[in-house]
């Protein structure tokens, strides 16, 4: 049978997963999808994700590519996968792509969203998807700080400690903070060509300190220029972060 290349759009609640990437002894999203594909293809299958979300991080629009010989139609394949997959992961869409499509290397940008619940009492239904910060936050100051990140910068100050990458320069095309509709939550959304490990969560931790007036908004530019992780604030928890979409 001829080989087909497929693009899968996947959503998941990351609470009970040890991230996206398959691990030898932990539950991961990649392993769940590959295990569901195996009986359909009749052999082991490897999928490539657009990004490796960390333990506890969610996705509304993760993208993966896979090569299959199985002749099953895309709609039937989606139904078969969702009938097999656990309830905390679902395939939202499957489309045929040209041979050679790679979900990781062909991605032009990714958009992440981070939710912060800013009332004293947090509804139990939001405990998996928002960081509980029971303080009033200065939204204007946070917006001023967020705008300073747009452009091409060296984000070494916001990468995870001990990271080993060729370059810490990344291009951010959008960095915005606003109120969630009909909710006391504050939502940060960022779009860029690529992200360092824990970069969004480290930015959010810093933005919250700006919102609490612990640091002035203009200091974010100095933190960025310092390239020093110790200058930025503590890492925000993983469960408030969602990979919203990947654009190609």
Which are the catalytic amino acids?
Answer: 54
Q: Among candidates 204, 202, 190, 201, which has minimal Cα distance to 227?
A: 202
- Residue 91: CA atoms inside 13 Å, Cβ hemisphere, count? 27
* Residue 87 CB neighbour total at 10 angstroms: 7
Under 8 Å CB-to-CB from 66, ≥6 apart: which residues? 5, 6, 8, 37, 45, 46, 47, 48
160 vs 236: CA distance, rounded Å: 12
Strand partners, 58: 242
């Amino acid at each position: 049978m001829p080989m087909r290349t497929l693009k899968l759009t996947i959503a998941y609640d990351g609470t009970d997963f040890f991230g996206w990437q398959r691990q030898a002894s932990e539950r991961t999203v990649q392993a769940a999808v590959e295990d569901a594909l195996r009986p359909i293809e009749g052999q082991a299958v490897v999928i490539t994700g657009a990004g490796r979300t960390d333990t506890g991080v969610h996705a509304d629009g993760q993208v993966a590519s896979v090569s299959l010989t199985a002749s099953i139609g895309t709609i039937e394949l989606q139904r078969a996968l969702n009938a097999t997959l656990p309830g905390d992961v679902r395939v939202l869409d499957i489309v045929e792509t040209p041979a050679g499509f790679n979900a990781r290397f062909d991605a032009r940008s990714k958009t992440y969203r981070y939710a912060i619940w800013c009332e004293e009492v947090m509804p139990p239904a939001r405990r998996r998807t928002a960081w509980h910060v029971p303080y009033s936050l200065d939204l204007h100051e946070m917006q001023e700080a967020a705008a300073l990140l747009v452009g091409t910068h060296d984000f070494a100050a916001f990468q995870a400690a001990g990271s080993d990458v060729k370059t810490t320069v990344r291009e951010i095309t959008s960095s915005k903070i606003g109120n969630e509709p009909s909710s006391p939550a504050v939502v940060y959304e960022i779009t860029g060509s690529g992200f360092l490990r824990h970069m969004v969560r480290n930015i959010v931790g810093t933005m919250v300190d700006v919102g609490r007036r612990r640091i002035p908004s203009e200091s974010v530019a100095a933190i960025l220029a310092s390239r020093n992780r110790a200058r930025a604030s503590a890492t925000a928890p993983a469960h408030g972060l969602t990979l919203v979409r990947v654009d190609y």
